[in-house]
Structure 1
Amino acid sequence: MSVKSLPLTDELHEYLVAHGSPPDEIVRELVEETRAALPAEAQMQVAPEQAALLTFLARLVGARQAVEVGTFTGLSSLAIARGLADGGRLTCFDISAEYTSVARRYWARAGVDDRIELRIGPAADGLHDLPHERYLDFAFIDADKVGYPVYWSELVPRMRPGGLIAVDNVLRDGRVLAPQDEADRAIAAFNDEVLVDVRVDLVMLPVADGLTLARVR
């Protein structure tokens, strides 16, 4: 028994991934292409165990209406789309047509492209234009860190009671303890703000670079 999460060696991480829902061929090839074509940006892609968790969470809440803020090359959106209930829809917001062109190819290969609507442009504007009602079942935030408070403020009022928001990179590789740049400071402040948000129940998990799960009341 451990009083805190175990540190993950490379070998233990491989074991963890293999004993969850291991990546299939499409996921493996998407990860490999992203790392080969975009080596400087590949760290923006979610970890394989995180992708499996997103699918699991979407299924757990029976998500039919979902939103993703920050799509990159599409691994997280692919994972969420695979977890949607029959007839479910995922709306993705991203500013890069280049990165998301990769996503589109893999969505099609996985047969989930008919469930996903991609909107290119500032996410804050796109979220603001969504229906002003509590209809969203699931949301995933993984975009520019300074924008997190805006994305949160737009999403929470649109989540149904019991809806789930997952927020990535909340530990900033440990730098939330001693922020070094604007993004670190933004996440540290965001973490403090959501902790006292009475509209949600939340837990922060040491998954990948830190993942906050917030259940809307």
Structure 2
Amino acid sequence: MAVSSRFADLPPTTIHDWARSDEYHNSFLIPKDPAIDYAIHKSKEHGLPDISVTEAQGKLLNLLARSLGAKRILEVGTLGGYSTIWLGRALPEDGHLTTLEISEAHAKVAEGNIANAGLTNKVTVKVGPAAETLKTLSPNPPFDLAFIDADKSGNLTYFLEAKRLLSKGGVIIVDNVVRNATVADPGVSDENIEGVRALLEHLKADKEVDATTIATVGGKGYDGFLYALKL
């Protein structure tokens, strides 16, 4: 397939270029943050996988939550609490974030990181399979924003529950939906890819939301997120 681009004559870029670009832009726009650095250090110290959002993506989540004026946020997939901290800081004084994590060990690390960031009073970590925990949550009052970044095979389940819990005009963000363009390759398949495909197939006919996918490159590779608005 021929691709037309104003950058067609430039040499291909690599993850090293994307990481350098992230670092350059972040140096102007994201000040050094002891609580964020602490969360990264403690997550590595306890052997958590390095699969959190990038620094720029964390800042984007924070800005989106602030732009929405979100008072109640739902997060599916806590890991070490890195994205939780970015989102929690966007909340007003009376705001609250509920984050779901399947691993007790991960949740313990996250709680320490959240406490170090001074957000314990704004964040509740619920431990257990998210598909089960979500069913116990009430939409009264509704959530304003949901961020889904857990096992990709559960994407559709998590999305449908998040939609149930969201207010009209609320936003759902689903991470890792491009996966180095493998989702669009019919010759490639695994449970993560199929989880994204199932969500996309559902969204094609879901009249209760309007959504788009934004591809991204950065220090952690070529991926993207889905942004959905509850109508």
Task: Please report the TM-score for the alignment, with normalisation by the length of structure 2.
Answer: 0.84
CA contact (8 A) 2:42 2:113 kept: no
> Where does residue 210 of structure 1 map in the other structure?
224
1:1-217 superposed matches below 5 A: 9=17, 10-38=19-47, 41-42=49-50, 44-133=51-140, 135-178=142-185, 179-207=188-216, 209-217=223-231
CA contact (8 A) 2:79 2:107 kept: yes
Kindly state the Cα deviation for residue 23 of structure 1 after the two structures are TM-superposed. 4.6
Kindly state the Cα deviation for residue 197 of structure 1 after the two structures are TM-superposed. 2.0
Q: Which runs of 5+ in 1 are unaligned?
A: none
Kindly state the Cα deviation for residue 17 of structure 1 after the two structures are TM-superposed. 2.2
CA contact (8 A) 2:38 2:113 kept: no
Hey, which of these two has a bigger chunk of helix by percent?
Answer: 1
SS of the residue 2:56 aligns to: helix
Change (3 A) 1:168 1:80: same
Moved more, 115-124 or 10-19: 10-19
SS of the residue 1:212 aligns to: strand
Deviation per residue, 1:156-199 (Å, 9 max, x gap): 12211111111111112321123331211221232232244221
C-alpha separation in 1, matches of 2:32 and 2:83? 12
Aligned length: 213
* 2:20 counterpart letter in structure 1: E
Task: Please report the TM-score for the alignment, with normalisation by the length of structure 1.
Answer: 0.89
C-alpha separation in 1, matches of 2:73 and 2:46? 28
* 1:143 counterpart letter in structure 2: A
Q: Which of structures 1 and 2 has the larger relative contact order (alpha carbons within 8 angstroms, sep 6+)?
A: 2
RMSD (Å) for aligned C-alpha atoms: 2.1
Structure with higher Rg: it is 2
SS of the residue 1:163 aligns to: strand
CA contact (8 A) 1:128 1:154 kept: yes
